[in-house]
Amino acid sequence: MENRQIKTALIIISTFLIISILGNITQFSYIYLIQQHSKKSYRWIAHTHKIIHKLDELKIIIIQSRSNKSLSKNSLLIKKKLNIIKNLTLDNPKQYERNIKIKKLLFSKKINFKKILFLINEMRSEESLLLKYREKDL
């Protein structure tokens, strides 16, 4: 009888240990997944901030170039900013296309600054909305 009680006690203890170990594994897996999600969210937030910053820089350069009538003098810098924005928006076809439109408009014979600034503001607005969405996701 005593052997039977020992076996039963060992089975109960073993079952409890297995359940505890599985619970800990599940808990650590859940924590790991949350951390990975947070890292990914923070990367997207940083990415979006970078695009907004580059759009602001581009807008300032264009406005200054327009008022100083020095667009050709700043064309290399403008192209560099546009290329950075193009690379940052590869994941967003709509933003990527707007960037290409801006480049075409800037380096056409008749420059439409109003349209260019409108497109930059449109891109910035979309990025700001994405930023709000991504920050809520944290």
User: What pLDDT, in 10s, does the model give residues 28-78?
Assistant: 776 776 677 788 888 899 999 999 999 999 999 999 888 777 778 888 999
Number of domains in the chain: 1
Residue 16 belongs to some domain of the structure: no
Q: Which domain does 71 fall in, by range?
A: 40-136
Residue 129 belongs to some domain of the structure: yes
Confidence label for 1 from pLDDT (cuts 50, 70 and 90): low
Residue 111 belongs to some domain of the structure: yes
Residue 20 belongs to some domain of the structure: no
> Tell me, what's the pLDDT at 41?
84
For 117-125, the CB contacts below 8 A with 24+ separation are 117/59, 117/62, 117/63, 120/55, 120/58, 120/59, 120/62, 121/59, 122/98, 123/51, 123/55, 123/85, 123/89, 123/95, 123/98, 123/99, 124/52, 124/55, 124/56, 124/59
Residue 13 belongs to some domain of the structure: no
Residue 63 belongs to some domain of the structure: yes
> Tell me, what's the pLDDT at 26?
77
Give the predicted TM-score (pTM) of the model: 0.75
Residue 61 belongs to some domain of the structure: yes
